Amino acid sequence: MALPVTRINENNEKDALLVTATADSIVVLSGLVKSYRLGQTIVPALRGVSLELNRGEFTAVIGASGSGKSTLLNMIGCIDEPESGSIVIDGVDVLSLDDNARSRLRNQKIGFIFQSFNLVPVLTVAENVELPLLINTTVSPAERKDRVAQALEDVGCSKFVRNLPDQLSGGQRQRVAIARALAGNPDLVLADEPTANLDSENSHRIIDLMLDLNARRKVTFLFSTHDEKLMGRVSRMVHIQDGVIKL
């Protein structure tokens, strides 16, 4: 199926583009180009990246530091924009949206898991998990409470609802971060090196948990990782080198 979308070309103008996708596609990227300026130097991060992810996939993006992994996740997460190319999330042309609409899509469709957990230290576990739901006006206070409770139960952290993050171990904090990502009932979870700050035992537990959630909730997971334990258990690996996906 060809999806009509709008892309930004090299002259910062919008033009028409047809992107080939299937009914199972949740992410379709076509021709993404992105560079960053470091002083007087232009550093290419993505060089015409195209990628399709299907619903329910458990996929890892593999590459050396500086290969473009984080930039790619930022594009899919609607955090950054390409200089050219197109981004379609769940059939929606991201680059055609204004900032408010893009924020709503990010809040309602995408969950994020970070290497450093990114929990707010002065908030309890329950308050951290609830935080993304507070800006979603379609979710009532009663539903927020139910979603927080369910997400924490799913990750085995129900007994920590009143704890502060610094009262938890690294593995427990990452479980809470996963609960926060899941509380919004996302279709897609993006995880940037989710096991990098964990020991081997906790890494295995987190991988087991995410695989279980992928199977039970049918959430699509996309990781960037160097972790060989995670690489060996994903259903698909995408290799990126110098801003180009290697087939």
Q: What is the pLDDT of residues 150-162, one digit of tens each?
A: 999 999 999 999 9
Inside any domain, residue 29:
no
What is the percent of the chain with per-residue pLDDT over 70, rounded to a whole number?
A: 90
pLDDT at 82 over 90: yes
Inside any domain, residue 22:
no
* Ordered DSSP codes for the chain: -EEEEEEE-TTS-EEEEEEE--TTEEEEEEEEEEEEEETTEEEEEEEEEEEEEETT-EEEEE--TTSSHHHHHHHHTTSS--SEEEEEETTEEGGGS-HHHHHHHHHHHEEEE-TT----TTS-HHHHHHGGGGG-TTS-HHHHHHHHHHHHHHTT-GGGTT--GGGS-HHHHHHHHHHHHHHT--SEEEEESTTTTS-HHHHHHHHHHHHHHHHHH--EEEEEE--HHHHTT-SEEEEEETTEEE-
pTM, 2 dp: 0.86
Band of pLDDT at residue 23, cut at 50, 70 and 90: low
Q: What pLDDT does 21 receive?
A: 53
Domain enclosing residue 102, as ranges: 55-78+98-246
Tell me the average pLDDT across 212-232: 87
Task: Give, in order, the Cα–Cα distances in Å from 96 to each of 88, 106, 169, 188, 190.
Answer: 10, 14, 42, 20, 22
Band of pLDDT at residue 226, cut at 50, 70 and 90: confident
Lowest mean pLDDT among 14-23, 74-83, 122-131: 14-23
pLDDT at 179 over 90: yes
pLDDT at 7 over 60: no
Tell me the average pLDDT across 7-20: 44
124 Cβ contact list (under 8 Å, min separation 6): 161, 162, 163, 164
Task: Tell me the pLDDT of the chain averaged across its residues.
Answer: 88
Tell me the average pLDDT across 55-75: 93
- Are the CB atoms for 127 and 87 separated by under 8 Å? no
Is the pLDDT higher at 31 or at 21? 31
Tell me the average pLDDT across 182-200: 91
Band of pLDDT at residue 15, cut at 50, 70 and 90: very low
Tell me the average pLDDT across 48-69: 93
Q: What pLDDT does 75 receive?
A: 95
pLDDT at 185 over 70: yes
Number of separate domains in the chain: 1
Two tokens at 177?
A: 């971060």
Inside any domain, residue 176:
yes
- Are the CB atoms for 188 and 219 separated by under 8 Å? yes
CATH number at residue 156: 3.40.50.300
Q: What pLDDT does 1 receive?
A: 44
Inside any domain, residue 83:
no
Inside any domain, residue 10:
no
